[in-house]
């Protein structure tokens, strides 16, 4: 498996940075509820109930329901960006780095689907300032992938007429995994990651590893 794999595989819950313990339990409960029902359909009573607390306890650790979403979105985007940066900063050619980036990114969206759903689909529920902060992180995600594609084109490894459009499509493909992936479905996150890495290499016109055609 690739270098960036352990960034995803090694952890059980990625929320260890959230303290104290009660705040983390509330946040994990909120991720589950938001992913299942969506932000607006989730009640603060539901979140507190899942964490084994009274509704009022939530407001000791978070000012509003929206602050919970903001924290989740921020941490999730940071994690996703870190995964991409690890792959993009690798040492192989552009094709290796792109395959590594796509498979890691997809594995995260599939394996941590509940978090990814909240991160990718509840952006509009944030207020203007919080949304602007998150959008800045998304531009960094886009730049990371576009960088690999540009490297591949410059090195003659890829054949991409529209770099920005293709970058958009690659990210779109990865992100949408969070919408359809089902833990009980026939595919593991690793399998989807491998499948998607191959598809993306074709999209950029790279020769698959070991292919002798020109």
Partner DNA sequence: GCCCTTACTGAGCGAGCGCTTAGGCTCGGG
Partner DNA sequence: CCCGAGCCTAAGCGCTCGCTCAGTAAGGGC
Interface residues toward a copy of itself, by CB under 8 A: 37-38, 40-41, 121, 124-125, 161-162, 165-166, 168-169, 172-173, 175-177, 179-180, 187, 192, 195-196, 198-199, 202-203, 205, 213-214
- What mask of x and - would describe binding to DNA in positions 104 to 143, judged by CB under 7 A? ----------------------------------------
For residue 47, CA distances in Å to 20, 65, 154 come to 17, 10, 50
210 binds DNA (CB under 7 A): no
36 binds DNA (CB under 7 A): no
Nearest CA to 87 out of 169, 168, 6, 163 is that of 6
Would you say 63 or 179 has its CB closer to a copy of itself?
Answer: 179
Judge contact between 6 and 107, C-beta under 8 A: no
Among 56, 91, 128, 210, indicate the residue that binds DNA (CB under 7 A).
56
Spatial distance between the Cα atoms of 133 and 12, rounded to a whole number of angstroms:
27
The residues, ordered by sequence, that sit 6+ positions from 174 with a Cβ below 8 Å of its Cβ are 102, 105, 106, 109, 196
For residue 113, CA distances in Å to 49, 89, 109, 117, 184 come to 22, 25, 5, 6, 12
CB of 35 to a copy of itself, least distance (A): 10
Would you say 28 or 125 has its CB closer to a copy of itself?
Answer: 125
Binding residues for DNA, rule: CB under 7 A, are 20, 22, 42-46, 48, 52-57, 59-61, 63-66
């Amino acid at each position: 498996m690739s270098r960036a794999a352990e960034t995803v595989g090694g952890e059980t819950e990625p929320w260890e940075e959230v303290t104290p313990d009660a705040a983390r339990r509330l946040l994990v409960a909120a991720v589950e509820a938001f992913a299942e029902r969506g932000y607006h359909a989730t009640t603060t009573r539901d979140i507190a109930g899942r964490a084994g607390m009274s509704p009022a306890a939530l407001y000791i650790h978070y000012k509003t329901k929206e602050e919970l979403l903001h924290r989740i979105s921020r941490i999730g985007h940071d994690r996703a960006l870190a995964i991409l940066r690890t792959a993009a900063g690798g040492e192989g050619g552009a094709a290796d780095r792109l395959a590594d980036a796509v498979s890691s990114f997809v594995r995260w969206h599939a394996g941590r689907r509940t978090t990814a759903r909240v991160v990718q689909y509840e952006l509009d529920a944030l207020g203007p300032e919080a949304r602007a902060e998150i959008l800045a992180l998304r531009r960094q995600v886009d730049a990371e992938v576009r960088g690999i594609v540009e490297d591949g084109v410059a090195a003659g490894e890829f054949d991409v007429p529209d770099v920005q459009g293709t970058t958009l499509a690659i990210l779109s493909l990865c992100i949408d995994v969070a919408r359809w992936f089902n833990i009980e479905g026939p595919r593991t996150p690793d399998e989807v990651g491998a499948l998607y890495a191959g598809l993306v290499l074709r999209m950029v016109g790279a020769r698959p590893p070991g292919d002798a055609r020109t």
